[in-house]
Structure 1
């Protein structure tokens, strides 16, 4: 059984130095692609207090949460979703790290996933320190190499998503079919 969880932040986002308004966050767009290919419905991770629409305000909150190592409250997820041993986990890279709502999810979930396939959207930092963050937050899990997608290229991400998935299907043909 596979779970596809994504945290995405719609609103203003950084693209080529500009902050256009997006209705569907970049990470959610990648999650939809993955969901189509894996035949799973993405589950949106939602903080109890939504992030602001304003990009500078999101950055301010994210920076404070990171500095404080905060664990922002999240909306509960279905127990069946959380019990899956295999998670595809998506998030934007904020200041080189996973958003702190991801930390909340991983530190408050029992049992924790056995295998994590991370995917992240960014605007130049790649996966940053997020893979190390995941391993620290969920030490019992095997964190697989992740898929970084530049947010400004999300509309053209299908080939990268397909290539990433193909690598794992070839190397772990039964893992994704559990």
Structure 2
């Protein structure tokens, strides 16, 4: 795929540099670090209450998906953990675009530092990542395949640059064929850092 076609079809935005696939306008859709330490297990600023154990985990390159994850954590609490690759992606946008493409074409499984030794305790896992070449960044697949997802409910959230969800949800469902999914949230990178209302509306659709 030529770079211009890539920008058009997946929404890569040099202005936003938003998690490698960002864009304009927010949308929601239904139907659905080494040994990373969780932050604020009670969610002191949480605006919603639930008795279920919640994990919010995410992969973020530019910070947009991280911002959404932090907003979810602010509203509902739980534990917040970043998916961190063993080898960091380049700081250069173009170099990261190329590396992401190569990894996806090779169906690679880049090593990740993040470990969740007590994963079995969680009932609901919020899982977020940017749209890279229409799907998930490959470290997300590494992370997913390192854990037992039986009896989990997964609430996916994605950031993009105008390309929308594309295969982000469908490819995730293939990785987790026996997992229950809550409605997903898709946000453009440009709206990711001001998404409190979108997150609140999304959370209200779930039976928490």
In the superposition, the TM-score normalised over structure 2's length comes to: 0.71
1:7 to 2:59 alignment = yes
Decide whether aligned partners of structure 1 residues 52 and 164 sit closer, same or farther in structure 2, where only a CA change above 3 A counts: same
How far, CA to CA, are the matches of 2:202 and 2:186 in structure 1? 10
The 4+ residue runs of structure 1 with deviation greater than 6 A are: none
Question: Whose helix fraction is larger, Structure 1's or Structure 2's?
Answer: 1
User: TM-score if structure 1 supplies the norm length?
Assistant: 0.82
Equivalent in the alignment of 1:55? 93
How many matched pairs? 156
1:62-106: per-residue Cα shift (whole Å, max 9, x none)? 000100000110013231146523210010110110111111111
Secondary structure class of the residue paired with 1:43: strand
Identify unmatched segments of 5+ residues in structure 2: 1-52
> 1:163: Cα distance to partner?
0.4
Contact preservation (8 Å) 1:72, 1:101: yes
- 1:66 and 1:32 map into 2 onto residues whose CA distance is 27
Match of 2:148 among 110, 113, 126: 110
Paired with 1:115 and 1:57, the residues of 2 have a C-alpha distance of 35
1:96 to 134, 152, 159: 134
CA RMSD of aligned residues (A): 1.5
Q: Which has the higher contact order (CA 8 A, sep 6+)?
A: 2
